[in-house]
Structure 1
Amino acid sequence: MTDPSPPISTAAADTMWLTRRIEKLKQCFALCGIINSTLDLPEVLDRIMRTSRQALGAETSSLLLVDETPGPGRGELVFQVAQGPMSDSLRQGFRLKRGEGLAGWVCENGRPLLIEDAYADERFNPEVDRRTGYRTKTILTFPLAVRGRVIGVSQLINKEDGSPFDAADLEMFTLICDQAAVAIDNARLHTEMLKKQRMEFDMELAANVQQGFLPRRVPDVVGLDVAGASRSCDETGGDYYDFIVRDGQDGSPGQMVVVVGDVTGHGIPAALLMASVRAFLRSRFLAPGDVGQVLDDVNRLLAEDLGMTGRFMTLFALEVDVATRSIRWVRAGHDPALVHDPALGVFCELGGKGIPLGIDGKWMYPCESMDSLTPGWVIVLGTDGIWEARNPGGVMYGKERLRKIVRARADCRAVDIVDAVMGDVETFRRGLPRRDDETVVVIKVGERGVEHEKNHAAGGSVCGHISVGMRR
């Protein structure tokens, strides 16, 4: 009896093969579109595995990514997604060393593997099968690579119809994995961009908050002209200056305190430490005690907070008695204040001994003092970002150049002297970015009365008696 079905011609067979191939390619492109339709990394990984299983009729699928974080596990493969009967065993976070098993081999060599019989391949590790009771038969493993760099491995195990994976499956899996690698890379870049945007927003917010910590206005104290400015080398900085007025017994200004500080490091940690010191100082200055006692208490609190972190803050605190014009100051590891007497053309420094705040909570800060201020004096407090600024030739700005600016502007207002110093440092750097925060505060001493003028004319400069390096 003859077969009633006519034989299929070669042309018809080719047409059927091309039709199936086109349909497969259409399906593949549609699946790639699904994979690339999101930038959420966990969703991208889940879609890669789900679409791969559906497209190739696989029982189990898994995706591993290379651990690129610094540390002992760098370069290892980490399971991110596992679907199918073995998904519970291949839990998220399970690791393979580079070169271990079929996935490790593919990652190490950057080439795919089409294994028809897993147990016939010596690279196959049957440990998971022994642990789970699952029987691995055929495996398709493909490297996920971007710009020539393997970032992970995708793997399919066993076909639902029981047949082994073949070359056509590998071809389709190749197309999916190539698109998947790009999708993973894009999702990672998107995640990093979002992190950067959040960080920039947080830094901008922190910078705005920190700027709010700096004095909004200069205290109105008769006979004293005060100004200050601070510029950070980053969005947030560790430099600090403040003006604090302590009330007298009658409610009028009793003392004006000027502080300038410099926290180790830069960025958010330095800004947080600066904010803590500001809060401690302002709170403590509300209570009785001279400037030395204030710093004793602040230092004790700060040392408790900082512990063994290695962080600290240098500070110079100067207190002026408004009525007597006597001054007291404490130097906590900070550079001395610079004093210029334009009448005699000399400079001197307000020195003293003291370690930075936060190092030793038991340290007691000695308080230096001077009986009177002379009208015309210019007192300059700053941070080392000023005199340690460098030009393109590597030369430091230095304190001598600072003295020249102060000497040349001694007759100007305090704010003009501050502007002149900051402008000259900017000019000196000649376009180089700041390497450190830059802060300067100027106190210009005004007239006090006829009697003091007579004493000044007769006795010369008190500055000469406290100088630790008088210069003309």
Structure 2
Amino acid sequence: MAPPDTPACRADNLKRCFELCALITSSLDVDEVLTRIMTTSRQALAAETCSLLLTDADTGDLVFTVAQGPVADKLPRGHVLKRGQGVAGWVQVNGVPALVPDAYADARFNPEVDRRTGYHTRSILAVPLAVKERVIGVAALINRTDGQPFDLDDQEVFQLIAAQAAIAIENARLHHHLLEKQRLEFDMAIAASVHNDLMPHAPPPTPGFDLAGASISCDSTGGDYYDYLPHPDPGSTGFSLAVGDVTGHGIGAALLMASARAFIRGRAERGEGGLASMLENVNDLLCRDTGDSGRFMTLFWLAVEPAGGDGDNRGGALSYAKAGHDPALLYNPADQSFEELNARGVPLGVAPGWRYEAAARAGMAPGEVLVLATDGIWECRGENDDMYGKQRLRQAIAASASLGAKAILEAVLASVAEFRGKRPPNDDMTLVVLKALA
């Protein structure tokens, strides 16, 4: 081995540093990188004890993350050292190394850890872990095994290791965040797939009517809901439609929507009691899920009888009930008029025990168009921050009323998209179009 303080000795030290740095940077696991940093530093510089503290991004305090040595088990991971406290805190604040040959003679030294562990600190070497002049932590060695204090040569080696160690920590963190992001994206893709499977894939047979629906989430998943359901009267050969909107959007709204969908479908399959009674049952069930969360769901439920006979060319009678949802729009192209189908009822999930009312109307004349939608349509904002509004919705319906249900739906959504321009949607959008045929 080369004598100390000679070029050969310095070359040996540099070679050893490079070998140690290569070992530190060979992993992208954060915990493994941190442990390797302290293990290699402790062995290279013959230290009894070592610790690595990382800066808490929220408080700026130092948090003990790795501790090795005789009393490491008495210094639990997660112990907090206030910013600026002790030698390590001084290094963190000033961003420069601290070489302390006699700890108890240095005013920066905080003997609290010694009192807690029963250890006696003689000499300290602490260096900052910095990335782009940002101190992300402090690495510290305590007491050389030969009893001598740490010196400037030790500091030089430790600084070289710390420089590479800081980069390794940052890379490992970035890799960890990337993996978390990929995992989240994968989970969101699965959630989106499940969410899409909950929506109808095609309308059921509806003699005398043309039917189309679509739901577009502004996130991977959403809280909008639409469905094609049996008629509430078990003896009827008609059908029913439901459109709902859970407060908010994203995963939370999608989960509540899935619960509501299950309750609505279960109640629709059982039938009996009419739409108002069915809404009351669904509301009581949903309230158990919403609790005090403040979440709720609006819903419009429309039942359609089959087309009348004996020369009656109108589509069967309509009955409907709603829970805090906007009215359905019925457009008559013969006189270019709109009618709102409305009924009283609070949103689902607000409080149990509410009573809902149902309303009824004569059937639809050939060519009439009925539209159910969620507020993401008319509350969509354009590039000038103005809202699409219900007037534009009515104009889009009237302009495309001569087309089939699917073409009307596509025309309305195209109108909304053109109005929105490059601005991203701010809410989920759902639209169901029912057109009476001759």
Shorter-chain TM band: over 0.9
Aligned to 1:321: 305
Select which of 90, 94, 115 maps to 1:105: 90
* Letter in structure 2 aligned against 1:210: H
Q: Is the 8 A contact 1:247 1:254 kept in 2?
A: no
Select which of 209, 215, 221 maps to 2:206: 221
Q: Are positions 1:53 and 2:38 aligned together?
A: no
Q: Secondary structure at the match of 1:44?
A: helix
* Letter in structure 1 aligned against 2:7: L
The offset of 1:375, in angstroms, is: 2.3
* Letter in structure 1 aligned against 2:35: D
* TM norm structure 1: 0.88
Q: Are positions 1:94 and 2:89 aligned together?
A: no
Aligned to 1:117: 102
* Letter in structure 2 aligned against 1:156: L
CA distance in 2 between counterparts of 1:425 and 1:260 reads 19
The offset of 1:446, in angstroms, is: 2.0
Q: CA 1:128 to 1:247, structure 2 compared with 1: closer, same or farther past 3 Å?
A: closer
Select which of 245, 256, 264 maps to 1:262: 245
Q: Secondary structure at the match of 1:221?
A: coil
- What whole-Å deviation, never above 9, does each CA across 1:35-72 have from its counterpart, x for those lacking one? 00000000000000000001100000000111124xxx
CA distance in 2 between counterparts of 1:35 and 1:363 reads 65
Q: Is the 8 A contact 1:219 1:245 kept in 2?
A: no
CA distance in 1 between counterparts of 2:276 and 2:191 reads 31
CA distance in 2 between counterparts of 1:441 and 1:116 reads 78
Identity of aligned residues (%): 54
Select which of 403, 407, 428 maps to 1:437: 428
- What whole-Å deviation, never above 9, does each CA across 1:141-190 have from its counterpart, x for those lacking one? 11111111111111000000111100010000000111111111111111
Q: CA 1:13 to 1:166, structure 2 compared with 1: closer, same or farther past 3 Å?
A: closer
Q: Is the 8 A contact 1:89 1:128 kept in 2?
A: no
* TM norm structure 2: 0.95
CA distance in 2 between counterparts of 1:260 and 1:423 reads 20
Pairs within 5 Å for 1:140-219: 140-219=125-204
Q: Secondary structure at the match of 1:164?
A: coil
| RMSD between aligned residues | 1.6
Q: Is the 8 A contact 2:41 2:161 kept in 1?
A: yes
Q: Which runs of 4+ in 1 moved over 3 A?
A: 246-250
The offset of 1:395, in angstroms, is: 2.0
Q: CA 1:390 to 1:128, structure 2 compared with 1: closer, same or farther past 3 Å?
A: closer
Q: Is the 8 A contact 1:106 1:153 kept in 2?
A: yes
Query: Gaps spanning 5+ residues in structure 2: where?
Result: 309-315
Q: Is the 8 A contact 2:3 2:9 kept in 1?
A: no
Pairs within 5 Å for 1:274-289: 274-287=257-270, 288-289=272-273
Q: Is the 8 A contact 2:231 2:304 kept in 1?
A: no
Q: Secondary structure at the match of 1:161?
A: coil
Aligned to 2:51: 62
CA distance in 2 between counterparts of 1:321 and 1:146 reads 71
Aligned pair count? Answer: 429
The offset of 1:247, in angstroms, is: 8.5
Aligned to 1:311: 295
Q: CA 1:340 to 1:436, structure 2 compared with 1: closer, same or farther past 3 Å?
A: same
* Letter in structure 1 aligned against 2:152: A
- What whole-Å deviation, never above 9, does each CA across 1:254-296 have from its counterpart, x for those lacking one? 2311111111111111111111111111111111221111111
Q: Is the 8 A contact 1:98 1:104 kept in 2?
A: yes
Pairs within 5 Å for 1:324-339: 325-339=316-330
Q: Are positions 1:359 and 2:350 aligned together?
A: yes
Aligned to 1:241: 226
Q: Is the 8 A contact 2:207 2:307 kept in 1?
A: no
* Letter in structure 2 aligned against 1:200: E
CA distance in 2 between counterparts of 1:309 and 1:383 reads 22
Q: Are positions 1:292 and 2:276 aligned together?
A: yes
Q: Secondary structure at the match of 2:50?
A: strand
CA distance in 1 between counterparts of 2:373 and 2:214 reads 10
Aligned to 2:363: 372
CA distance in 2 between counterparts of 1:203 and 1:390 reads 26
CA distance in 1 between counterparts of 2:413 and 2:385 reads 19
Q: Is the 8 A contact 2:231 2:303 kept in 1?
A: no
Q: Is the 8 A contact 2:232 2:303 kept in 1?
A: no
Aligned to 2:313: none
CA distance in 2 between counterparts of 1:100 and 1:249 reads 75
- What whole-Å deviation, never above 9, does each CA across 1:419-438 have from its counterpart, x for those lacking one? 10011111111222111111
Q: Secondary structure at the match of 1:158?
A: strand
CA distance in 2 between counterparts of 1:87 and 1:39 reads 24
CA distance in 2 between counterparts of 1:147 and 1:292 reads 65
- What whole-Å deviation, never above 9, does each CA across 1:351-404 have from its counterpart, x for those lacking one? 121111110111111111123332221101111111111221122111111111
CA distance in 2 between counterparts of 1:64 and 1:189 reads 18
The offset of 1:245, in angstroms, is: 2.5
